[in-house]
């Protein structure tokens, strides 16, 4: 699996400041609606439901909010850079400025886990995240995410 198989160029955005985790999820849902036709309100609710199980802030300024949706046929993603980091209740208590959100069909099973593992491994590389943070052009970010993958998932 490659990031290019789950992420569209129009699903990569740079946003200014968001006031809360819920507002971030609304931004993600708007991008998901525009890029993949996902219902915005259902998407926000699914992200909030998943987040209630435990924070998806994985540390070092990275969050991986994810959810399963009935209306989906394949795994897809939304990538955001936040110009102003957001308190996300991450495991290391650091604010988040990189959010890669994944959406999967209810019955995705292993495909959802493979995608989550790929994103997690890729964004665990500090040099990779530094490169992402240094660029605020969505087209450039998409290129970095899809072509410059030093780590491959199973």
Catalytic residue among 60, 66, 112, 136: 66
CA distance 128 to 61: 13
> Does residue 121 sit within a domain?
yes
CATH number of 18's domain: 3.40.930.10
The pLDDT score that the predictor gives to residue 149 is 52
- Look at residue 153 and tell me if it is in a domain: no
Confidence of residue 131 (pLDDT cuts 50, 70, 90): very high
Residue 154: inside a domain: no
Q: Is 136 a catalytic residue?
A: no
Q: Looking at the domain assignment, is residue 129 inside a domain?
A: yes
Record the pTM.
0.92
- Compute the average pLDDT of residues 30-37: 96
Range of the domain at 32: 3-147
Q: 152 lies in a domain?
A: no
Question: What total of structural domains would you count in the chain?
Answer: 1
Query: Which three-class secondary structure state does DSSP give residue 4?
Result: helix
Q: Hey, what's the torsion of the CAs at 68, 74, 75, 76, to 10 degrees? A: -110
């Amino acid at each position: 699996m490659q990031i290019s198989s789950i992420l569209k160029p129009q699903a990569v955005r740079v946003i200014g400041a968001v006031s809360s985790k819920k507002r971030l999820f609304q931004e993600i849902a708007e991008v998901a609606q525009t890029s993949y036709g996902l219902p915005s309100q259902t998407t926000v609710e699914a992200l909030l439901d998943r987040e209630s199980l435990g924070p998806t802030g994985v540390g070092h300024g990275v969050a991986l909010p994810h959810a399963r949706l009935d209306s989906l046929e394949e795994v897809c993603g939304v990538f955001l850079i936040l110009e102003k980091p957001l308190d996300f209740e991450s495991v290391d208590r650091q604010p988040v400025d990189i959010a890669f959100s994944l959406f999967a069909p209810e019955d995705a099973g292993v495909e959802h886990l493979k995608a989550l593992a790929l994103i997690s491994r890729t964004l665990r590389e500090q040099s990779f995240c530094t490169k992402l943070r240094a660029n605020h052009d969505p087209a450039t970010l998409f290129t970095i995410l899809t072509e410059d993958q030093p780590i491959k998932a199973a």
